[in-house]
Amino acid sequence: MITANPFSLLSVYIPSIFMQLFVILMVILLLAGTIFDMINKKNVKYFFENAKKAKKQAKKELSSSERASVVLKTVTHEILTTSELGKGKRRIAHLLGMYGTIIFWITSIIMIFSLSKTNSSNLTIYPILWHIGALMTCLGGYWFWFFLRVDVSSEAHPWYRIVQADLFVLSLVITSTFALLWSFFQSSELVLLGNLFFVLFCLANIILFGGVYWSKFAHMFYKPGAAIQRNLAEADGSRDNLPEPSDQPKQFGLGIKREAPKHY
């Protein structure tokens, strides 16, 4: 199962061109949802206005190399490793889900668009990575869903309570789950179950990419920009119009150090 390209087996019944068109459609839905989200919530407008305000309040003008250094450090230290989440379980679950999803999406595109090539059947590394990526997404996503959500772990809400904010993580995890089930039953030659989970896999993708406007999907693009802007403001002294930290915080007591933060 893990070494078989499920899309290659599917191409016997569905031409590869239709699968490629489906991927293109998902990309269009993603772009359209993100654009509508930006227009409605005006996030990008806020970032630009905030950047202009910070430039006026800056105490130091950063050179191109200094700005590039801040951006590079933010990408490598915060974005790629999610260091803002600390060293706890939430960070591990987030990293599993993030990198699992990236691996799953990239290998899906490679396998689908390589079906027309004569040597596509020899690319066994991609099906293996595809299954590993889906498993990583499921592990990180279900760990977060059942044990690490704020409303579950701290507010005593049941794990099955669903709100609109959960649309992204649920559709993401369910998409990977249906993908694994489809691959398993297809390899087991259980055609009816394989077809069922393939249809559910397609529907889950449509909900995931078509629901960008209503979910937190677009936050994946906003958070890196916000982190870069915050660190640039720290470097040039504008500090987003916030006061500098006190040099004598202990005189006010332990504060948040009374208990270990959970990084909600």
pLDDT in tens, 21-32: 999 999 999 999
Q: Is 52 exposed, middle or buried (0-12, 13-18, 19+ CB in 10 A)?
A: exposed
Distance, in Å, from the CA atom of 40 to the CA atom of 57, rounded to the nearest integer, reads: 28
Distance, in Å, from the CA atom of 171 to the CA atom of 209, rounded to the nearest integer, reads: 9
Fill in the DSSP letter of residue 125: H
Mean pLDDT, residues 39-56 = 75
Q: How many domains would you assign to the chain?
A: 1
230, part of any domain: yes
pTM listed for this prediction: 0.81
Distance, in Å, from the CA atom of 211 to the CA atom of 63, rounded to the nearest integer, reads: 40
252, part of any domain: no
Distance, in Å, from the CA atom of 251 to the CA atom of 192, rounded to the nearest integer, reads: 69
Q: How confident is the model at residue 170 (pLDDT cuts 50, 70, 90)?
A: very high
Mean pLDDT, residues 216-231 = 81
Is the pLDDT at 89 greater than 80? The verdict is yes
pLDDT in tens, 183-216: 999 888 787 888 899 999 999 999 999 998 888 8
247 or 187: whose pLDDT is higher?
187
Q: How far apart are the first and last CA of the chain?
A: 38
**Residue 86 DSSP SS3:** coil
Distance, in Å, from the CA atom of 61 to the CA atom of 88, rounded to the nearest integer, reads: 36
Q: Determine what percent of the chain is predicted with pLDDT higher than 70.
A: 84
User: In terms of residue numbers, what domain contains 89?
Assistant: 6-53+64-239
For 6, other C-beta atoms within 10 Å of its C-beta total 23
Distance, in Å, from the CA atom of 250 to the CA atom of 97, rounded to the nearest integer, reads: 38
In the numeric block, the tokens 């390209």 are attached to 5
Residue 111 contacts residue 130 (beta carbons within 8 Å) = yes
258, part of any domain: no
Is the pLDDT at 70 greater than 80? The verdict is yes
Structure tokens at 250: 């202990």
260, part of any domain: no
34 or 121: whose pLDDT is higher?
34
The residues near 81 (Cβ < 8 Å, ≥ 6 apart) are: 95
- State the pLDDT at residue 245: 65
251, part of any domain: no
126, part of any domain: yes
249, part of any domain: no
Query: Which of 60-64, 85-89, 144-148, 203-207 has the largest mean confidence?
Result: 203-207
Residue 204 contacts residue 20 (beta carbons within 8 Å) = no
Work out the mean pLDDT of the chain and round it to a whole number.
83
Distance, in Å, from the CA atom of 158 to the CA atom of 147, rounded to the nearest integer, reads: 10
List % helix, strand, coil for the chain (3-state, nearest 5).
75, 0, 25
254, part of any domain: no
Question: How many CA atoms within 13 Å lie on the side-chain side of 256?
Answer: 5
- State the pLDDT at residue 127: 92
Is the pLDDT at 144 greater than 80? The verdict is yes
